[in-house]
Structure 1
Amino acid sequence: MSSATQFLGKAMKDETSSGVNVDRRKRPKQPRAVGTVEAITEAAKQIILKEGYKNLTTNRIAEVAGVGVGSLYQYFPNKQAIIKALIEETVFRAAGKVRTCLRMLMEVPLEPALHQIMTMLLATYRENDFILFRILDQIPELKEFPQNLSVEIHTHSTNLAFLEQHQAEIVVSDLPTSLMLIERTTIHKIECFLAQDPPNITEGQFIDELTQMAVKYLTR
């Protein structure tokens, strides 16, 4: 048996074993390798959105990505690891947008700044709704990782700096605790709004309510 055949056989065994490894085998360094990995994760995303997770296989991902399955297994041991990488990439991009927005609004008064932040958050989560909110429900092997795969974890320090910058307008004394409550409440409300798409409230009204909720809590 060739070394390549042995490698692929081990990779496929990893995918079907009961203890699924969801870590990457290695991270790409060269531009071509980065492009290959990006094609793999994008292919996984398109298959899930169009065909459903039940139709997601490493062979199908490689086919849609236009790469050999051997190349796929160089970076990922199984489809669960690919999905974890996809979620990580989505979270990092979304967190980057949030941090950029916060930095631009540091000198803007609290209420209009929060209104812009809530608008940006809703748009970002709407764009990535399935990946950020719903995909983990379909993948039991990733259930233990959501605490590491959330936008607020990667924006928390910038969120806190934003509140500290507006401290003159804020009356709550424990900013870290208040921030945690605002983060969790805001994300939960956005998740519910996107899932339910309520007919009795417009997107503008929803953003206004989110803004007032945060402003009143911070300045009560």
Structure 2
Amino acid sequence: MRVVLAEDSLLIRTGLTTLLTGGGYEVAAAVGDAEALLRAVAEHEPDLVVVDVRMPPTHTDEGIQAALVVRRQYPGMAVVVLSQYVEERYATDLLSGDTSRVGYLLKDRVAQVPEFLAALRRVLDGGTALDPEVVAQLMVRRRRDPLERLTPRERDVLRLMAEGRSNSGIVTALRVSHSAVEKYVSSIFTKLDLTPTDVDHRRVLAVLTYLNS
């Protein structure tokens, strides 16, 4: 089984390469950034991609975004994402579509070599491998009210959005400035984990969340 590995830390990348090789995998490429990962995937067409969530240049979400590109462009390719700690939004993004051949593991699990290799095998066999801490946090998130993170004023703004008010209408109703309303709306989107996309209307999704809560 051929693997392409993406990890910006040379020390961790070298350790993972040694671990994977010892586990019977052929590491076709071990790279340090997301762009190099996508090039390596196109060149080697591996069976498995292992990628860190945070990659250069900004060390925010380059890794997870590259993983999502791989998932779209190579639907049959297994992808395992490694993260320093649980980041719910990234886990949700990764699992929002087909959940076969996908994994999200904390880096701490790598030290538990037999379990880590078993998780990779499970993903390669068409299954899913989720770190227990990821599962626990996602379950807690599912149980709690998604609106509980909003301030009272943000709830007022969302209620008016649900009534069909535009930002100008909210300005009039609450007697606040346009800039204040824009800040409230932006904060609502952030707290409800509604990231900008080309296909979804965040205002509509926020209203649906309000109506379903």
TM-score, L = length of structure 1? 0.31
Q: More helix by proportion, 1 or 2?
A: 1
Q: More strand by proportion, 1 or 2?
A: 2
Flag the structure with more relative contact order, 1 or 2, with Cα contacts below 8 A and sequence separation at least 6. 1
